[in-house]
Amino acid sequence: MWAITKQERSLGFLPSENSYKVNVDGSSFGNPSRLGFGGLIRNNLGEWISGFSGFCGIASNLHAGLLAIFHGLNLSWSSGFKAIICESDSQLALTLIAKGLDRFHPHEPVINKIRNFMYFPWSLTLNHTLRETNECADWLAKHGAANDLHLFR
Residue 85 is predicted with a pLDDT of: 97
State pLDDT tens for residues 55-111.
988 888 899 999 999 999 999 999 999 999 999 999 999 999 999 777 888 999 999
What lies within 8 Å, CB to CB, of 92 at 6+ separation is: 62, 65
Residue 1 is predicted with a pLDDT of: 55
Residue 127 is predicted with a pLDDT of: 96
Residue 80 is predicted with a pLDDT of: 97
- Which of 141, 148, 127 minimizes the C-alpha distance to 4? 127
Please state which CATH number belongs to domain 2-152.
Answer: 3.30.420.10
State pLDDT tens for residues 126-147.
999 998 889 999 999 998 988 8
What lies within 8 Å, CB to CB, of 129 at 6+ separation is: 7, 10, 12, 23, 87, 88, 89
Residue 5 is predicted with a pLDDT of: 58
Let me know: does 130 contact 7? Beta carbons within 8 Å.
Answer: yes
Let me know: does 90 contact 134? Beta carbons within 8 Å.
Answer: no
Contacts by residues 91-94 (CB-CB < 8 Å, ≥ 24 positions apart)? 91/6, 91/128, 92/62, 92/65, 93/26, 93/62, 93/65, 93/66, 93/69, 94/4, 94/6, 94/126, 94/127, 94/128
Residue 38 is predicted with a pLDDT of: 96
State pLDDT tens for residues 46-56.
999 999 999 98
* Domain limits, the chain: 2-152
